[in-house]
Structure 1
Amino acid sequence: MTKYLTWFLVFMFFSCSMTTKKDYKINGVSFVASRDQISKENVQPVLNVHANYTAIMPFGFIKNLEHPEIIYNTNKQWFGETTEGVSQYINVLQKSGLQVMLKPQIWVWHGEFTGHIKMPNEVAWLELEQTYSQFILDFAKLAQEKQVALFCIGTELEQFIVHRPEFWQELIKNIRAVYSGELTYAANWDEYKRTPFWNDLDYIGVDAYFPVSDKITPRVEDAITGWQAHKIEMKTVSETFKKPILFTEFGYRSTDYTGKEPWVSDYKITALNFEGQTNATQALFETFWKEPWFAGGFVWKWFHNHAESGGKKDNQFTPQNKPVEAVIRNYYKRQ
């Protein structure tokens, strides 16, 4: 009897520790998978910006927007995208005192937008449901095994959700059956108001690439002004569902017009503009991090090889070795 009571108390401890609401902000980075294992040396730069969470993002791949089969956990993928790699990353990150959001994602060949995934017929829809369930539940079980604090059930999959809402309701139940931590979904910035299952999750997840300024180099004040209408809408959604808003992704490129269409990630844009990236990021922090209905977020994106990442010639999203890194460090340190 004593043995069973001990195991029950252990289970309750882990369950409660994973589901208790935070009294602090989630100050996260999106930790990109690599070909290699990681070590504490790769984690130290994350700790240096005072992050307390990392998102780990294993990918599954589909051939096109109408193809139902998801390929994942193969020897053709980078180590950090496989279950073995995810497990190794989580071990190192947790040993360093970081919490983890496990965020399995789909990549469509040629980089087509996942929100447009839509099957041509019922047979294909059923196959997609089966393969997506297997993909997500495999990682949900791993999340439970590793006592991961937060699990993301999908990323930017609006048409899949619109056309198969019953599937998603059942999927959430099946995830809850194998994973006892907190759940979110990463809705695109223009999708979250229509997502139908926020009542069944713990956070309203938003990939926060909202347009906030049309200027070449937005000032902090410009971007703060540009946020106001979006902020009101998010606060309303949070109050409606009685769930906190979590930015499952946020960030800006170090390029001109960074606040105009922040979701653009192609390499056709060649301009460098660190001031715009810094100002837009500061405005986001000033707008949201003090709000009680806002849970925090995950910077997009952070590479394991910090010394070689970002820098003065890079105009992509990563803040590493750019002036904006100091802004993130400053705000994360306050929490």
Structure 2
Amino acid sequence: MTWGWTGIRGTWGTPEAEASLDALAEVAVGWNCVTYAALQDKPSSTQIHWRDEPTVTDDEIRWAIRGARARGQKVILKPVVNCADGTWRAFIGFFEIDVPGEHGWADWWASYTEFVVHHARIAQDEAVELFVIGCEMVRADRREAEWRELIRQVRAVYDGPITYNCDKYQEDHITWWDAVDVISASGYYPSGGWPAQLDRIERVVRAHNKPFLFIEAGCPSRAGSAARPNDWTFGGEADMQEQADYLAEMFREAGARDWVDGFVLWDWPAQLYAREEAASNRDYCPYAKPGAEVVREFYASRS
């Protein structure tokens, strides 16, 4: 399960966050993906303000890792960059060739590398089981040389396995999968579309002979979201069964493929809504919803 998103300073290490971790432990989750975001101003900005609010502090990150461990979970550490103006990180990008006087890739990569390598050191200190070097950076995906250099620098400070979280439909467009240890993707595929997408992804996984997981996957509890599971802005009414049915289909279809090694569901916040509010909650978190039982039963069957 993805825990703690978006990582707002001051909301981790609290009694509410402790209660959230306790509730998550009841869902048979074996891996906790501690996930948080740092902000750059807009997609054309070159500085990532990862030391500043609202991003969680290093101490909060260590607290979350240790809290997951105390509950018997292995840990994935996933630092993510977001845009403060609300633009999706997939659109972060610049001219293909750096131009004097214009914001360019070189400056952005310097800032991004500093951000990622700093958190890789935390991953090393805390013996994190898997480290994520990026998430859904679609326009940046083609910058192969920069990704390979980032991976080299991460490996210099972290000796565990590394993955990159590509976006949905991008699995067969990454040219540097050989440089990571695990192939991972966001699996927000519409209901009914799983078989075709799994067939496509399988060719990539078999070609590289590496472990694979859906490091993001899930569906909001909203009517109509099974057809648009990646759309967190979709305006359907609360529908807990839609989420449960989608998760059951995803587990059935993807779980039958021997090359799919796991799922990291989206998501479980550090501050949960009240149990009695679950029926009206329209978000991805399955807490106190029928979807939680689907998750618990599937995970328990694979433990």
The verdict on a shared fold, with TM-score over 0.5 as the criterion, is yes
Q: Name the SS for the 1:151 alignment partner.
A: strand
Question: Is residue 28 of structure 2 the alignment partner of residue 50 of structure 1?
Answer: yes
Give runs of aligned pairs for residues 31-50 of structure 1, distance below 5 A. 31-32=4-5, 33-34=7-8, 35-38=11-14, 41-50=19-28
> Equivalent residue for 2:74?
99
Match among 33, 43, 51 for residue 73 of structure 1: 51
Q: TM-score, normalised by structure 1?
A: 0.82
Question: Is residue 96 of structure 2 the alignment partner of residue 130 of structure 1?
Answer: no
Give yes or no for contact 2:12–2:270 (8 Å, CA) kept in 1. no
What percent identity do the matched residue pairs reach? 22
Q: Name the SS for the 2:189 alignment partner.
A: coil
Match among 247, 258, 263 for residue 297 of structure 1: 263
C-alpha separation in 2, matches of 1:304 and 1:30: 7
- The offset of 1:321, in angstroms, is 1.4
Question: Is residue 28 of structure 2 the alignment partner of residue 61 of structure 1?
Answer: no
> Equivalent residue for 1:152?
132
Give yes or no for contact 1:29–1:51 (8 Å, CA) kept in 2. no
Flag structure 1 segments of 5+ consecutive residues without an equivalent: 1-27, 213-222
Q: Name the SS for the 1:103 alignment partner.
A: strand
> Equivalent residue for 1:219?
none
Q: Structure 1: which amino acid aligns with 2:284?
A: F
Match among 293, 308, 326 for residue 274 of structure 2: 308
Give yes or no for contact 2:132–2:165 (8 Å, CA) kept in 1. yes
After superposition, the C-alpha distances for 1:261-292 in whole angstroms (9 at most, x for unaligned) are 211112x6141222221111101111122432
- Root-mean-square deviation (CA), in Å? 1.8
> Equivalent residue for 2:235?
269
Q: Name the SS for the 1:88 alignment partner.
A: helix
- The offset of 1:38, in angstroms, is 4.5
C-alpha separation in 1, matches of 2:222 and 2:271: 22
Give yes or no for contact 2:239–2:279 (8 Å, CA) kept in 1. no
C-alpha separation in 2, matches of 1:58 and 1:105: 6
Question: Is residue 216 of structure 2 the alignment partner of residue 249 of structure 1?
Answer: yes
> Equivalent residue for 2:90?
115
How many positions carry a matched residue from both structures? 291
Give yes or no for contact 1:30–1:54 (8 Å, CA) kept in 2. yes
Give yes or no for contact 1:38–1:89 (8 Å, CA) kept in 2. no
C-alpha separation in 1, matches of 2:167 and 2:216: 9
- The offset of 1:149, in angstroms, is 0.2
After superposition, the C-alpha distances for 1:37-71 in whole angstroms (9 at most, x for unaligned) are 15654322122110011111121111111111101
Q: Which of the two has greater helix per residue?
A: 1
C-alpha separation in 1, matches of 2:44 and 2:123: 29
Q: Structure 2: which amino acid aligns with 1:245?
A: F
C-alpha separation in 1, matches of 2:2 and 2:88: 22
Flag structure 2 segments of 5+ consecutive residues without an equivalent: none
- The offset of 1:115, in angstroms, is 1.2
Q: TM-score, normalised by structure 2?
A: 0.91
Give yes or no for contact 2:12–2:64 (8 Å, CA) kept in 1. no
Q: Name the SS for the 2:21 alignment partner.
A: helix
Give runs of aligned pairs for residues 207-222 of structure 1, distance below 5 A. 207-212=186-191
